[in-house]
Chains A and B, each alone.
Chain A
Amino acid sequence: MTVHYVYGVLPAGQHPPDLARGPDAAEVLLVEGHGLVAAVSELPEDRYGEEEFRAHAEDPVWLQELASAHHRVLASIALHGDVVPLRMPTLCRSRQRVLELLDTRADALRHALASVTGRVEWGVKLYAEPRPAEKDQVQAASGRDYLGQRMAQGRARDEERLRRGDAVRACHEVLASAAEHAVVNPPQDPALSGRRDPMVLNGAYLVARELESDFLAVLDAQAAGPCREAGLQAEVTGPWPPYNFSVTEDRESAGRP
């Protein structure tokens, strides 16, 4: 028994030249129907069926391998063309079911494709640099003095926090206006980001391919100017397949004619 694992959907007629391989070096097939193409791998059910997903849902190694394979395939398509990523994992029983998926979801998928066609995603993160520790040592003659100084320090920290927050928002707004769409995601935990400095912005920006260099120039100016002044370090990743801009839920399209 096999399952059909669907990575994403691309427009009909697009033939990605260098398709990467899926999990366990599985071949990626293009299933075409209803003016759309699903990028699919036929995988053994005893390794990648629903039960296996449930069994391995808490297995970081298994998940990471699959997530990288999923991304590898989508990135190989996005390198040369357009693709709408599907949420991992999307499994179908058979090739016929994949075609039914394309049929019943055609409108929503076309709509999703149209909104990302010719565009890529860039990720921008801002980290708050540690401040030179102005010593929190309090030398006080009395309890009242001590409390007063502690409160003043607290106020100063709060003000700095606000200033930095304003700078983060301002930077995001400038980037968003240089992009077609923007999404702010929750900051990643230091354990996840691998950096000790707190992440204060985790943004994603949808940018037309021909405007990428403009967007990067704006980012460059922000990073070197206002961000640096506010003690914020920028980190950029990309271009990505438009994951953050392909988040249509069923509900959303269910209401449409």
Chain B
Amino acid sequence: MNKLRLKFSKNGPIKFIGHLDVMRYFQKAIRRAEIDIKYSEGFSPHQVISFAQPLSVGATSDGEYMDITVNSMTSANDVMDRLNSVMNEGIEILAIEELSDSSEKAMTAAYAAKYKIRFRESLKPDFDWISEFKAYLLKETLPAMKKTKSGEKEIDMKPMIYDYSFSEEDESVTLLLSMSSASTLKPALLFDYFFKSMDKEIPANALDIHRIDIYRLCSDDGKEYIEPFITNGTNERFYLNV
């Protein structure tokens, strides 16, 4: 039995497919690819798959993750190739990694996510949002009300923003935001309050959100850093609190 972690992209029209349907899509793809996937016990067995944080409908991504368990395989790369041979364009398996038995599940091990955010052409603000947003992010605290299971609670978004950078060229911002079981900051909430800070309301579906990757927390001599779920030898590390 092997546990595998897969990194995949979600681009093009497939961005309109909701999370549950993406799960159903993969269940069928795994059957088409004839992967020897492990099924749960019981009368209606289901494939043992878990996904990282769902992406909202309309957002694209080059860094989605899922973990699967297989009974047997030739190699992890063979699993990836088989899946890619039955994928629709727009969804591609980008990388695969075998997990040790003790690895945490994708869901719980996530710590942060990186997004690139632009405005959809027809819904671009009529002001210089990049300058305004830069100023907004420099504030001491960034209070917001966040919906929770039991109602609403006040949070400070500031410590949940680990990093950011702007590109004037394509009018975008890249944000590294907290995304863990303990605290998650969605880009949409941040922009809601950014607009509110100017007594404005952001139009519905104005943001074109692209997830670049999902990160997990690691430590190196007591120094905490984050790296993509699958590093693929790139050694992309981001040290926290430095």
Please indicate whether A and B come from the same complex rather than being unrelated chains.
Answer: no
